[in-house]
């Protein structure tokens, strides 16, 4: 069912241009269809702020539940922002206070970039855990992406993420471990998922606390897991929301960091992502970058257009399936007054009572 453009957020215009069905508030008001209100806590850095909006909005809008989806982006303090991002947030985002007042049916928490070795040292740690403590009592289900997964697993279970020897970066094959769970219903048993991270939480550690791992990879580790109750918190360690060009954009940023002496080594390719022809083009470009850096020359543009048309997206269908199943469960559990029947008997002060 369609997204409702209940604000002037430019993401709605971009998605409509891509062919997504976007309802105006007037048209939505004349449909006898139930609304679902989904929060998007966007804590990505400025360069990825609007792209992250589009990625998650697109996945929500692709669900086929009989509902109108109102997505409410907001952010928190403790994140360094430039003037353009602050202006965007001020104009189009809601405040957490407004979110609490109006309520949500479900909440998505994006990933983030960090600067400290321990997450509790990040400026956004306290605001993030405040949102989570509110949401676990007032929202049907919370879906966490990558860094948010690491942060909330640490907050709930005391499990700190482990630094990896090298960045886990690429598109990895995965297998469904539990085919009976509602989130994996009607999905292929094998599919790809992009990953991009320097740290990891491990399946064995989570299972000791009753976390249920639903999808994992021999190469990349766990991807999809749920809280011990089976639904109220959904953990993604990968990035199923990524566009087909997302890893290319990350690779380009790392190449430019090398050129500007912000990293010592030339970045490796994201694994299982570029085909052989694209790798050869990029190897030729790497030689140009190294020469330009050595002699102080202006860098020629990367041959992106030639590469983009050769990229395959092997994860979008499975990502849509998970989101469709997730919001279908939210739709079934909540009622139109946004009351949560499963909260009876839950102790909101117990971080393990999920």
Point out the residues that are catalytic. Answer: 146, 239, 241
Q: What is the CA radius of gyration of the chain?
A: 21
> CB neighbours of 267 closer than 8 A, spacing ≥ 6?
251, 254, 255, 257, 258
Query: Under the phi-then-psi rule, with left for phi > 0, alpha for psi from -120 to 50, and beta for the rest, what region is 338?
Result: left
Query: Under the phi-then-psi rule, with left for phi > 0, alpha for psi from -120 to 50, and beta for the rest, what region is 332?
Result: alpha
Beta strands 35-41 and 106-109, pairing class: parallel
Count Cα neighbours of 314 within 13 Å in the Cβ-side half-sphere.
17
Q: Which two tokens stand for residue 62?
A: 């692709």
Q: Which two tokens stand for residue 345?
A: 């008997």
Are 198 and 163 in contact by the 8 Å Cβ rule? The answer is: yes
DSSP string, 30-42: TS---EEEEEEE-
Cα(238)–Cα(179) distance, integer angstroms: 19
């Amino acid at each position: 069912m369609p997204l409702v453009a209940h604000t002037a957020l430019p993401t709605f215009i971009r998605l409509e241009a891509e062919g997504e069905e976007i309802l105006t508030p007037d048209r939505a008001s004349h449909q006898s269809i139930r609304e679902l209100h989904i929060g998007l806590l966007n804590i990505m850095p400025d360069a990825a702020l609007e792209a992250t909006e589009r990625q998650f909005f697109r996945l929500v809008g692709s669900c086929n539940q009989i509902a109108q989806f109102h997505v409410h982006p907001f952010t928190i303090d403790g994140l360094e922002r430039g003037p353009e991002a602050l202006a965007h947030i001020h104009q189009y985002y809601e405040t957490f206070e407004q979110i609490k007042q109006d309520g949500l049916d479900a909440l998505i928490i994006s990933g983030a970039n960090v600067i400290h070795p321990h997450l509790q040292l990040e400026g956004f740690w306290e605001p993030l855990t405040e949102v989570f403590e509110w949401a676990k009592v007032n929202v049907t289900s919370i879906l966490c992406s990558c860094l948010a997964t690491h942060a909330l697993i640490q907050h709930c279970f005391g499990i700190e993420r482990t630094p990896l020897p090298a960045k886990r970066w690429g598109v990895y094959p995965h297998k469904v471990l539990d085919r009976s769970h509602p989130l994996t219903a009607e999905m292929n048993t094998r599919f790809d998922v992009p990953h991009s991270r320097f740290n990891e939480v491990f399946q064995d550690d989570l299972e000791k606390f009753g976390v249920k791992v639903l999808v994992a990879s021999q190469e990349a580790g766990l991807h999809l897991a749920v809280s011990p109750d089976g639904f109220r918190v959904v953990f993604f360690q990968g990035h199923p929301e990524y566009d087909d060009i997302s890893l290319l954009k990350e690779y380009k940023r790392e190449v430019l960091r090398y050129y500007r002496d912000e990293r010592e080594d030339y970045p490796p390719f994201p694994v299982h992502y570029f085909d052989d022809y694209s790798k050869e083009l990029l190897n030729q470009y790497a030689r140009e970058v190294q020469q330009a850096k050595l002699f102080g020359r202006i860098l020629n543009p990367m041959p992106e257009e030639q590469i983009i048309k050769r990229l395959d997206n092997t994860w979008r269908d499975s990502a849509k399936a998970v989101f469709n199943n997730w919001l279908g469960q939210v739709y079934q559990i909540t009622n139109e007054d946004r009351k949560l029947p499963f909260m009876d008997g839950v102790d909101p002060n117990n971080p393990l009572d999920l």
